Structure 1
Amino acid sequence: MEDNTEKPPVRSEVEEEIEDPKAIDEDNAAGKIFSIDDVDLPDGYFRSVYFWGSMFAIGMSLMCGVAGFSYIAPILSFVNEDIGPSPYITWVALTYTLTGSVGLMIVGRLTDIFGRRWFFVIGSALALLGSIVCAVAPNIPAMIAGETIIGLGSSAQLSFVFAVGELVPMRYRILANSYCYLWLIPPNPFGPVVGYAFQYNTRVKWRGVFYLLTGLNALCTASWYFFYHPPTFVMKHGHGRKLKYIKEFDYIGTALATLGLLLFLMGLSWGGSLYPWKSAHVIACIIIGFLLLVAFFLYEAYMPLKEPLLPMHLMKNRGWLVLILIWSIGASVYYAFAIIWPDMITGLYAEGHGHIWAGWASGVVGAGITLGEILAGFVKKKMHWVIRFIFFTGCALLAAMASCTPDTPTRAIVILLLGTTFIGANECLTSTCATICLDDQREIGTALGIGGSSRSFFSTLCSTVYTVVLSNRLAKTIPSQVPPALIAAGLPPGSTEAFLAAYTNGTQAAFDAVPGLTPSILATGTRAYKFATADAYRTVFLTTIAFSAIGFILTWFVPDVDAKLTGEVAVTLHAKTNEEFVGEAKSPDTKAV
């Protein structure tokens, strides 16, 4: 029977694209707009294997990216004993930090322009390759090479905030980020425990960490490949335009930013550890790196770039800029404790406890941060007021660590756990709100990539300040407090220097060689040494107040984003590589509400 129903006129794809407000924008590097309201998505979109497979890949990727460092960092001394020794063992950790810090900004911008899928697939594949290299490393240079590859992969693996944020409605972004932070439970609070467990309880020892990471990264790579299908380059820009974007990309700006960040962060990391602060290595790296970063900002601001690495209009978005700065300052306060707390445990509290206890205690900082990041997901409105409260409370608690002594391990653990929980909540809220207040959601990767690099920059800068303050104070508190206590206990004045050297050495043979040392004098000297060390740590904790005060002032400029917590989904997943949404077509009776 012939259907006489009048059919709408057939329009060409070109005509549809001209009238479509989401059509490809020739002048915008981000290309076509893919945002859609959640009520207009196909039925079953959020229940599809592609959506949950992508969420699994994002969470697993984040866990692997963090575990690539947190599992092995606490046991690097054992690695050095096994396949070293080498004076360059610190580069195992340093290369991971440097490559990840620089790569975040580049990955964010490139994925905005060229599409995200293959960057995330290749990033996890690099982490897989690096894990294999480290697992079979015969020497320290091979370990450094492996961790460098892992660090490069982590640039994509740690880019979870914009990866997950654009897949869910605006009003659920914070909750989605909290879901991702659940994946940090194994590597953050339990990172030291896992490392020590492999070292002390398995035949493969530290290599077991990388055997585990090899399996996890393999699963992660497969998940990205099979489930994650965001818009491709062709969907964003059309056919035959890839060469145009490759030619117009900001290579000079990228080189300036990369070299500037690498040299500056390298100089800060070298100072006082590998080289003295006054050495040419440190001074040259810091000065040249700083000048290159200045040149980068000037280049981005005044050159007529078609595809800049840092679109300068982002710097005019006050809400985004303030949130990125608060995110970075909060992280820098946290890093003060992430670096100092393990040494504080060893110097003040580890005596009388086993290695596993030290591992659990070392995980308090990571546990608090992760707990706060997860709990922040339940904040639904008035986030600007919540950020003000949690930032102030967290920083105040961390400053209160100055009240701790060698006799108060429980107080130190409780205060630190509570303080880092508030800072973790700040981390989640500020990074997520920074994506929500963007004027163009197509730049979410660029904006958060810059934010991630800023976070690393400020964290390294502030961590350097803390370590310098600590070393300078130790150089004063120990000589001024320990020798008088030893002499008062009966140690000959000429033996005090030998005692300090023996304490640094830490072996029984070294203490036996100290003239006139008795068990009672040793106990007195040990206690004096701990209190002198605690006084130095107290100064560091009080130093955090300076950075916290700046951050708290900035919290009063945080924008109210409640009005933007809508059902808008910035990017939709597709079935394989075609332009069909995953899920089933909506019923004709479905209406938006």
Structure 2
Amino acid sequence: MEADSKTSASELEKASANSHQQHVEDVPLDFIDPHRAALENNPEHAEKLSLSTILAVVSLAISYICPISCGFSLATGIIIPIGTDLGDTTKITWLVGGWSIASSVSFSMAGGLSDVFGRRWTILSGQIFCVVGSVVAATAQNVSTIIVASTFLGFGCGIIFVSYAGISELLPNKWRGTGLALTEYAINVPWCANVLIATELNLHTSLGWRWCYYIGLIFAVVSTLGTLLFYWPPKRPQFDIEKTRWQEVKELDFVGLALYSAGLVIFLIGLTWAGQANHPWRSASVIVPIIAGFCCLVACFAYDFTLAKRPLFPLVVFRKLRDFTMLLGIVFVAGMTFYSMMALLPQASLYIFTSDPIEIGYIALPNGIVQLLFGAVATSFMGKIKNLKLQILVSLVIQTIFIACLAAVIPQNKIGWAALQAFAVGPFALVVLACYVVAGLNIPLKYLGLATGLIGTFRSMGGSVGNAIFNTILQSVVGQDLGPAIAAAAVGEGFAPAGLDLLIPATIQTVVGVPGAFAGIPGATLTVQEAAITAARSVYAKAFRMVFFSTIPFGVIAIIIGCFIRDPSIYLTNHTAIHMEREGIFGKEATTHGHKHAERAQELALDEQ
């Protein structure tokens, strides 16, 4: 047994002694020391999963389709057409910002709350948010409404992310990667062709892009019913049997919760605003919320680490630097690149290569397929391959290299563009799911929801930060160079400078696919038009090259952090942390696994004596 395992176990025992020491017979060994449980309570063969457990895991997995596959991936794939239809292509970018901010906040809260009140009702509440968000988005008549709906979907998704902990703890340790891979199968099959599917729905159905949300609504209802019928985890993950739910509610860290939620929202709003036309980086509307939000976050952790009786963020968890805390830095960087690239890459295809929406969908197809291979297929074999640390490092290296390589193929190589972007984004899912597995193996059950919540929060926070930074870089280059480049190209072909006020916006409209934009402009010959369009696409290519180059330092930082995490692959055993309290649709059949937990905890008590 590793020495750090014993040390961290001792710290956790001291931290929670007052709440469970007198009732150790009711506490699973995983609640105290997951490392010891994985090695000592390791049967020769993994236990056969019951039908209810399988259906519960499947229900939890498909709950991601509504907020991620439909509410995020499909929608962001055609974000400009949605904005055009609703009358505002500028503010529509908040569809991404609202989603990521809301998911960051809700995941940070839901993880810890599920440790107190149980995973079942926490996840169901998130699924209900997704149902409401889908209905509002599908019927939206303006951009503001769909942004609100996207925020609901992001908030619900953050709560649903608790099922990463729920799935992990129901399965044998060595199958945890396979269980989490089911979520990726749900997210990516058939949604790996997200841009193409969204484009086809938008162009060839009567309801257009609204079908993205109606499809999500169908899956939200199905997953909610499945969770309600089949998912019966322990009602009290904290195993604090002396206290009622109301007592636990009163003991919640409301100060820390308020500081953290307010700080995160304010901080991310500042970052999302940054770089927009009416919110430059140096403006008070950006600086003030960033500083105020950061101060609130610092105050939250300072309070929790020193004064809180029952902290929302226990210091004992963050002290596990190599076992957990470093994972937060890794998923932060992974989220920066993934969420921003998911929105930026289809735009780059539009601005640089083609305005044909179907062709843009085909360009994005390899991207979706490779995401499926990394996130679902490779993750399914995570327990067989082991070497979790190496899997994370290899994925980070691939992602960092291939994003940088995208700069070499624009604007001249469309095939290379389609192929390279697949490996630039694809490794993200394997990185994140491997981090969830690592956290699940290292963090005791008492804090598992909190730990997975923090991983999700930092992932989404990274997405918001990346979205702000990379969009700022893009817009700064375009804003500075686009007009002069079009003007120089047109004048060089003999176009009169007096007509540039009409030619420049017409060129931009043509690039994004507006037909007949050059009609009626004197002197706009085919030669002039071609020169202007080529110049515009060259400027966009330069801007996107700057974005891709700017991701390199962040990728290197993540790789360095990954070198210092501790590989917990030794704990990928046949051990199962918990079993459902009830089986069957109506939850009437009690299991006997609770007795096994009690017997093992009794052994622990004797060992401690």
Is 1:504 the counterpart of 2:508 in the alignment?
A: yes
Could you tell me how far 1:454 is from its partner in structure 2? 1.1
Could you tell me how far 1:193 is from its partner in structure 2? 2.7
1:251 to 254, 262, 267: 254
- Provide closer, same or farther for how the CA distance between residues 209 and 394 of structure 1 changes in structure 2, counting only shifts above 3 A: closer
Taking the aligned partners of 2:299 and 2:595, their CA distance within structure 1 comes to 52
Secondary structure, in 3 states, of the residue corresponding to 2:63? Answer: helix
- Provide closer, same or farther for how the CA distance between residues 452 and 204 of structure 1 changes in structure 2, counting only shifts above 3 A: same
Could you tell me how far 1:453 is from its partner in structure 2? 0.7
Q: Which residue of 1 aligns with 2:132?
A: 129
1:404 to 409, 413, 416: 409
Superposed counterparts of 1:90-109, under 5 Å: 90-109=93-112
Q: Which deviates more from structure 2 when the two are superposed, residues 387-396 or residues 482-491?
A: 482-491
- Provide closer, same or farther for how the CA distance between residues 309 and 366 of structure 1 changes in structure 2, counting only shifts above 3 A: farther
Could you tell me how far 1:356 is from its partner in structure 2? 2.2
Q: Which residue of 1 aligns with 2:338?
A: 334
Taking the aligned partners of 1:88 and 1:528, their CA distance within structure 2 comes to 27
TM norm structure 1? 0.86
Q: What amino acid is aligned across from residue 372 of structure 1 in structure 2?
A: F
1:310-332 Cα offsets, whole Å, 9 max, x none, are 11112111121112211221221
Taking the aligned partners of 1:210 and 1:421, their CA distance within structure 2 comes to 24
Is 1:275 the counterpart of 2:278 in the alignment?
A: yes
1:349-392 Cα offsets, whole Å, 9 max, x none, are 114xx322223334554443332112133232222233223312
1:242-261 Cα offsets, whole Å, 9 max, x none, are 22211111011111111111
- Provide closer, same or farther for how the CA distance between residues 90 and 538 of structure 1 changes in structure 2, counting only shifts above 3 A: closer
Taking the aligned partners of 1:194 and 1:442, their CA distance within structure 2 comes to 42
Q: Which residue of 1 aligns with 2:59?
A: 57
1:135-165 Cα offsets, whole Å, 9 max, x none, are 3345444434433332332122233321211
1:478 to 482, 486, 502: 482
Taking the aligned partners of 1:290 and 1:97, their CA distance within structure 2 comes to 17
Taking the aligned partners of 1:187 and 1:259, their CA distance within structure 2 comes to 37
- Provide closer, same or farther for how the CA distance between residues 186 and 274 of structure 1 changes in structure 2, counting only shifts above 3 A: farther
Q: Which residue of 1 aligns with 2:535?
A: 528
Q: Is the 8 A contact 1:327 1:431 kept in 2?
A: no
Secondary structure, in 3 states, of the residue corresponding to 1:343? Answer: helix
Q: Is the 8 A contact 2:371 2:427 kept in 1?
A: yes
Q: Which residue of 2 aligns with 1:372?
A: 374
1:562 to 569, 586, 589: 569
2:494 to 479, 490, 495: 490
- Larger-Rg structure: 1
Secondary structure, in 3 states, of the residue corresponding to 1:516? Answer: coil
Superposed counterparts of 1:109-508, under 5 Å: 109-186=112-189, 188-233=191-236, 236-238=239-241, 240-273=243-276, 275-277=278-280, 278-303=282-307, 305-319=308-322, 320-351=324-355, 354-374=356-376, 375-379=378-382, 380-438=385-443, 440-479=444-483, 481-506=485-510, 507=514
Could you tell me how far 1:82 is from its partner in structure 2? 5.1
Q: What amino acid is aligned across from residue 315 of structure 2 in structure 1?
A: M
Superposed counterparts of 1:21-40, under 5 Å: 21-24=24-27, 37=41, 39=43
Could you tell me how far 1:488 is from its partner in structure 2? 2.6
Taking the aligned partners of 2:145 and 2:408, their CA distance within structure 1 comes to 44
Taking the aligned partners of 1:521 and 1:491, their CA distance within structure 2 comes to 7
Could you tell me how far 1:405 is from its partner in structure 2? 2.2
Q: Is the 8 A contact 2:237 2:445 kept in 1?
A: no
Deviating 4+ runs (over 6 angstroms): 17-20, 33-36, 40-43, 582-586
What is the root-mean-square deviation in Å for CA atoms of aligned residues?
Answer: 3.2
Q: Is the 8 A contact 2:252 2:310 kept in 1?
A: yes
Taking the aligned partners of 1:214 and 1:383, their CA distance within structure 2 comes to 35
Q: Is the 8 A contact 1:395 1:423 kept in 2?
A: no
Secondary structure, in 3 states, of the residue corresponding to 1:229? Answer: coil
Could you tell me how far 1:186 is from its partner in structure 2? 3.9
Q: Is the 8 A contact 2:368 2:426 kept in 1?
A: no
1:160-199 Cα offsets, whole Å, 9 max, x none, are 3212111111122122222221111147523333322222
1:580 to 579, 586, 590: 590
Q: Is the 8 A contact 2:272 2:468 kept in 1?
A: yes
Could you tell me how far 1:115 is from its partner in structure 2? 0.8
Taking the aligned partners of 1:18 and 1:268, their CA distance within structure 2 comes to 45
Secondary structure, in 3 states, of the residue corresponding to 2:26? Answer: coil
Taking the aligned partners of 2:357 and 2:381, their CA distance within structure 1 comes to 36
- Structure 2 unmatched ranges of 5 or more: 1-19, 597-609
1:225-245 Cα offsets, whole Å, 9 max, x none, are 110000013993326522221
TM norm structure 2? 0.84
Taking the aligned partners of 1:214 and 1:337, their CA distance within structure 2 comes to 26
Could you tell me how far 1:527 is from its partner in structure 2? 1.4
Q: What amino acid is aligned across from residue 392 of structure 1 in structure 2?
A: V
1:111-151 Cα offsets, whole Å, 9 max, x none, are 01111111112221221222223333454444344333323
Taking the aligned partners of 1:436 and 1:234, their CA distance within structure 2 comes to 16
Secondary structure, in 3 states, of the residue corresponding to 1:309? Answer: coil
Q: What amino acid is aligned across from residue 405 of structure 2 in structure 1?
A: A
Q: Which deviates more from structure 2 when the two are superposed, residues 89-98 or residues 281-290?
A: 89-98
- Provide closer, same or farther for how the CA distance between residues 93 and 535 of structure 1 changes in structure 2, counting only shifts above 3 A: closer
Taking the aligned partners of 1:510 and 1:180, their CA distance within structure 2 comes to 45
Q: Which residue of 1 aligns with 2:6?
A: none
- Structure 1 unmatched ranges of 5 or more: 1-16, 587-593
Q: Which deviates more from structure 2 when the two are superposed, residues 33-42 or residues 309-318?
A: 33-42
Q: Which residue of 1 aligns with 2:11?
A: none
Secondary structure, in 3 states, of the residue corresponding to 2:541? Answer: helix
1:540 to 541, 547, 561: 547
Taking the aligned partners of 1:55 and 1:38, their CA distance within structure 2 comes to 22
Taking the aligned partners of 1:242 and 1:198, their CA distance within structure 2 comes to 46
More helix by share: 2
Q: Is the 8 A contact 2:407 2:544 kept in 1?
A: yes
Taking the aligned partners of 1:209 and 1:420, their CA distance within structure 2 comes to 22
Q: Which deviates more from structure 2 when the two are superposed, residues 483-492 or residues 408-417?
A: 483-492
- Provide closer, same or farther for how the CA distance between residues 549 and 114 of structure 1 changes in structure 2, counting only shifts above 3 A: same
Taking the aligned partners of 1:100 and 1:196, their CA distance within structure 2 comes to 26
1:372-423 Cα offsets, whole Å, 9 max, x none, are 1121332322222332233123211211111012220100111111232334
